[in-house]
Structure 1
Amino acid sequence: MRLNNVKLSELGQGALQELFESELEKVIENINDINTDPTKKRKITMTIDIKSDEYREIIFADAKVKSNLVSMDSTGIKLFNIVDENGERVVNELRSGAKGQAFIDDDGSIKNDDGSDIDEKSKTKKTSKVHQIYR
């Protein structure tokens, strides 16, 4: 038997090579994603299903290329579940790290624990109530 002009990179007029390169690009992007572990293994699998006609003269091949990527790292999220002054249940993301704690946002503004803006009036009201309690 002699294989004449059967090169993997030329099968299907280069389609198999293109499929491989496309999956390789996905793998490289996954490695470069800062949300994935760069040291974990990724895999590219090439499957070629082959069958013949009943006379064994024509061989049919169906090729697939797929990649197994590393999933993104998980991220912890804190939500607080409270009842507001109207008795309605409200769920907000806890952005500050601790309930009731203000924080400085990326833009330098001071925010409530749920990420909403702190206005000056509410700060003075809260302060005056605290002073009234301790007097």
Structure 2
Amino acid sequence: MQKKYFLLILIFVLALMFYCGNIKPFKASRSGVRKEIEKTLKFETFINHEFRKVVATQALTSDDSEFVIFARDELEQNLKERPLDGKTHILLVYLYYMLNQHDKALKTAERLIELAPNRSDVQELYNKIKNNKLLLK
């Protein structure tokens, strides 16, 4: 009987140690990275638009929905500053799609076709969005 209680306590202690030693620091590092990104963007340098694209590229492989939303908001800012940037449109289509904002993804893809009507990859992306067959990750 005492062995059962000892094992239960041991399992609880090990789970707590695992959480405090691995999960908690991981969560803290994720929020710290986002704060550093925000701090970098506040400098408003000439490379902010490129930096936002790098952040969006990282968000495409992230499972952190808050980070994906942050990246989407930053790319929307990119579109305000550079409305003819095709790569921003492409990344934004993917982020909208990840966030289940299919209407916005479709509208952004349509705008991208207006900007680059002769690109077959853009047309292919539009068709995948339209038919809801875009595969992510």
Q: Which has the larger radius of gyration?
A: 1
- Same fold judged by TM-score > 0.5? no
Instruction: Answer 1 or 2: which has greater helix percent.
Output: 2
